[in-house]
Amino acid sequence: MALNMADIFEHAADAFPERLAVICGDRQVTYRELEDEANRLAHHLASQGVGPGDHVGLYARNSIEAVATLLAAVKLRAAVVNINYRYITNELAYHLRDADLSALVYDRELAAIVDDVVPPELPRVAIGGDYAEAVSAAYGERDFGPRSSDDIYIIYTGGTTGHPKGVMWRHEDIWRTLGGGIDFITGEVLEDEWAQSRKGAEGNGMVRMAPAPLIHGAAMVATLAALFMGDTVVVLPKFDPHVLWDAVQRHKVNVLSVIGDAMARPLMEALAEGGYDTSSLVSFNSTAALFSPAVKDVVTKALPNTFISEAIGSTETGFAGIAFVSAGEGSTAEGWRGGPTVNSGPDVIVLDDEGGICGAGQTGRLARGGHVPLGYYKDPVKTAEMFTEVNGRRYAVPGDWARVEEDGTITLLGRGNTCVNTGGEKVFPEEVEGALKSHPDVFDALVIGVPDERLGQRVAALIQLRPDAAADLAGLEKHVRGQIAGYKVPRSVWFVDEIGRTVSGKADYGWAREYTASHPASQGV
């Protein structure tokens, strides 16, 4: 039994050939049509020399062609390398060097950068250019050889704290942690490679949307998992709150998966302005980033009949736990105990500083065993730093801090590599950001540590105010001090036009550090 993602998709394509697979703008394809397009693209890439173990770069916005590229690569036993379409010349050049690309599929609008960086001998296909001709000229038969559960799937991290790194997964392992190979609620393991398509046959399929770019791991694997089930996927070329709600209303979307406050907050404001019909929504969930307390309250009030949840995890661990959000969980950060308190996923533990397993009431680093990645591509040093052995088992330890509760649940505290150490006190940015964002004049905030001669680091905040709001430092200080301890209150503040975030909505800490180093701060809060 090959637990390979190409095989699992093909089972769904055989089971539901005329069911609608993907909708993007005015174009939509059935499973039969998507299968045909992916097969044709795979044969075209194979004619250009792409085969098992090769790497195909995807440098494009969301489109049906991008989805077909994901499928074409795995059909050939190759791996897609996700490349941020915002990257410019030097960043694309980094990917070429680091990922050892064998071919590139890219948007025609990015041709100038591609022509400047990519050597002419590297095979390339332009979506909106020669893609249609290449696909139509190839044949659509499914005549690929056997595949393996050990085939490699690569997801490059977003690089918010440094250069992107390629996380290597076996197909079976990533399917078991992110692709639907377990039940995320119960933790039960699916019995075989046909389980998802069998389950999909029980009804007419759901309509799902993960509006983040497909070059972001969470959206990429969520889209594939939906296709394994025979569901319909709605993808958007770019994130626009009003366009998104219009698509939810028009296509009767059932499941909407966003990335934290960066998507949820503008979505809630657009929903309030537009009065869209959300009655089809069954689930509104966040992955890869957490909701702040203030946003949780807004979401539960705006979508009272929808299941709202947060899942924790990372590119290096996959799914690690889930929590359901209830109305009234706190509109402020007062009494903050951390991020979501979750029922942890399989093989999730918390490790103390000595590498032992934390008990109730103890805080340490989140770790996941079982189905974990092989490591970072071409980086044995970082791979060694990421993994540890506990009682003879291998665990991935990405740096998230967490606390074990008395009932065995786990509360996420924040990323260890963004934690601020100020005068020996540990401050998690998520807590301070939650306090800031609960102020009615604050639209977005990002908290980092900046150098301080006396304290080592001091807490600093970059704040994006709402339109027409005035910068009232005294009022903001009073508000924040009413919610968190004094040593956590930002000592330096920068008011910015817009918070720097990655294309997927994650905080861009590199931007934040550059901005604070090159701009004078306002007074401390």
Q: What are phi and psi of 213, to 5 degrees?
A: -60, 145
- Which of 149, 174, 199 delimits the end of a domain? 174
Pick left, alpha or beta for residue 445 (phi over 0 → left; psi -120 to 50 → alpha; otherwise beta). Answer: beta
CA 61: distance to chain centroid?
Answer: 15
| Residue pair 106/57 in contact by the 8 Å Cβ criterion | yes
DSSP 471-511: --HHHHHHHHHTTS-GGGS-SEEEE-SS--B-TTS-B-HHH
According to the model, what pLDDT value does residue 333 have? Answer: 45
For residue 32, being part of any structural domain is answered with yes
For residue 80, being part of any structural domain is answered with yes
For residue 325, being part of any structural domain is answered with no
For residue 372, being part of any structural domain is answered with no
For residue 506, being part of any structural domain is answered with yes
CA 241/CA 272 separation, integer angstroms: 11
- Which of 152, 174, 196 delimits the end of a domain? 174
Number of domains in the chain: 2
Strands 232-234 and 20-24: parallel
Q: What are phi and psi of 25, to 5 degrees?
A: 60, -125
Amino acid at 388: T
DSSP 234-256: E--SS--HHHHHHHHHHHT--EE
Handedness of CA 312, 314, 316, 318 (dihedral sign): positive
Instruction: With H, G, I as helix, E, B as strand and everything else as coil, classify residue 102.
Output: coil
- Give residues with Cβ within 8 angstroms of 231, minimum separation 6: 200, 205, 206, 207, 208
For residue 409, being part of any structural domain is answered with no
The pLDDT tens digits for 6-52 are 999 999 999 999 999 999 999 999 999 999 999 999 999 999 999 99
- Which of 146, 174, 202 delimits the end of a domain? 174
For residue 70, being part of any structural domain is answered with yes
DSSP 331: S
Structure tokens at 116: 């400047």
CA 153/CA 70 separation, integer angstroms: 10
CA 287/CA 218 separation, integer angstroms: 7
Q: What percent of the chain has pLDDT over 70?
A: 96
CA 411: distance to chain centroid?
Answer: 20
- Give residues with Cβ within 8 angstroms of 189, minimum separation 6: 176, 181, 182, 346
The pLDDT tens digits for 121-166 are 999 999 999 999 999 999 999 999 999 999 999 999 865 445 789 9
CA 21/CA 2 separation, integer angstroms: 23
CATH number at residue 91: 3.40.50.12780
Tens of pLDDT along the chain (525 residues)? Answer: 689 999 999 999 999 999 999 999 999 999 999 999 999 999 999 999 999 999 999 999 999 999 999 999 999 999 999 999 988 898 899 989 999 999 999 999 999 999 999 999 999 999 999 999 999 999 999 999 999 999 999 999 865 445 789 999 999 999 999 999 888 777 788 888 988 988 888 878 899 999 999 988 889 999 999 999 999 999 999 999 999 999 999 999 999 999 888 899 999 999 999 889 999 999 999 987 778 888 899 999 999 999 999 888 888 888 888 888 877 655 444 444 556 788 787 789 999 988 999 999 999 999 999 999 999 999 999 999 999 999 999 999 988 888 999 998 898 887 777 888 888 788 888 889 989 999 999 999 999 999 988 888 999 999 999 998 998 888 999 999 988 888 899 999 999 999 998 877 788 888 999 999 999 988 655
CA 399: distance to chain centroid?
Answer: 16
Structure tokens at 503: 């294309």
Where helices occur in 131-237 by DSSP H, the ranges are 131-137, 171-177, 195-200, 217-228
Q: At what angle do helices 429-437 and 473-481 cross, to 10 degrees?
A: 120
Pick left, alpha or beta for residue 103 (phi over 0 → left; psi -120 to 50 → alpha; otherwise beta). Answer: beta
For residue 458, being part of any structural domain is answered with yes
- Give residues with Cβ within 8 angstroms of 44, minimum separation 6: 125, 134, 135, 137, 138
DSSP 216-236: SHHHHHHHHHHHHTT-EEE--
User: In Å, how far are 52, 177, 220, 282 from 82, measured between CA atoms?
Assistant: 18, 19, 9, 30
Question: What's the length of the chain?
Answer: 525
| Residue pair 62/98 in contact by the 8 Å Cβ criterion | no
According to the model, what pLDDT value does residue 332 have? Answer: 47
Burial class of residue 451 (count of CB atoms within 10 Å of its CB; 0-12, 13-18, 19+): exposed
Amino acid at 141: E
- Give residues with Cβ within 8 angstroms of 455, minimum separation 6: 422, 423
CATH number at residue 505: 3.30.300.30
Amino acid at 476: L
Write out the residue range of the structural domain in which residue 144 sits: 5-20+27-174
Q: Which of 308, 241, 305, 304 lies closest to 276, judged by CA?
A: 241
- Give residues with Cβ within 8 angstroms of 375, minimum separation 6: 167, 168, 382, 383, 386, 387
Pick left, alpha or beta for residue 357 (phi over 0 → left; psi -120 to 50 → alpha; otherwise beta). Answer: beta
Structure tokens at 461: 């905040």
